[in-house]
A = this chain, B = another copy of it.
């Protein structure tokens, strides 16, 4: 189970989401081929990824949706609920506080922080907004190990530092800036441009003004 490539780990939640949808639709059995068709990942890759963790399918009968789902939840440690600290109660913070996609998937926003005296003390989605300066002492007390950064770009690094002082080991960062954190802290970035760019590949170049000259492909093989 050691040294499984990070890129494999990043695909497991995608498999889990597909299985969640199948389970909700009442589907009992699936196959690497069906997952492949849904997800655009080759069936060989899916079987190889899952084989790192055991033998989940029986030859010729496919995967038991509920069993594989429970195994993935266990492997990803989301067979529990993780409390998260949200920093930033602006537009994005409010959207996240009300986000319904966390439910039943292992996460809950348990604390909200902001720097604005107008916001501190008020409630957001039923949670009392606290001052961001209290992050380092508040988090360890409550066993919070995950932070979400939803503040303006300029403040993101400072907030990351506070979260790290508060013992956070995982940060979900919405600000378009690369954070500097100690090695033991993981950071994932929510970057809509990554998703957009993988679609424009398929849209092609027609029908739009080119801002920069298109270079000849000097390297096409």
Contacts and interface: CB of A to CB of B under 8 A. Distances in A.
Contacts of A172: 192, 195-196, 199
Interface residue tally of chain A, by bracket? 35 or more
A42 B3 CA distance: 13
Given A80-B212, A81-B209, A91-B98, A193 B13 contact: yes
Interface string A49-88: 0010111100000000000001101111111111110000
Q: Which of A95, A172, A178, A211 is packed against the most chain B CB atoms within 10 Å?
A: A95
Nearest to A88: B95
B77 A200 contact: yes
A219 B80 contact: no
A133 interface: no
Contact of A45 (B7, B55, B153): B7
A74 B191 contact: no
A210 B80 contact: yes
Contacts of A202: 9, 170, 186
A79 B200 contact: no
Contact of A106 (B10, B95, B148, B200): B200
Interface of A: 1, 5-7, 9-10, 12-14, 16-17, 21, 40-42, 45, 51, 53-56, 70-71, 73-84, 90-92, 94-96, 98-102, 105-107, 143, 145-146, 148, 150, 153, 169-170, 172, 176, 178, 186, 188-205, 207-212, 214-215, 217-221
24 contacts: A5-B40, A6-B40, A7-B40, A7-B42, A9-B201, A13-B198, A16-B197, A71-B217, A74-B214, A74-B215, A76-B201, A84-B196, A91-B95, A95-B150, A96-B192, A100-B176, A105-B193, A107-B196, A145-B203, A146-B200, A170-B196, A172-B199, A188-B195, A188-B196
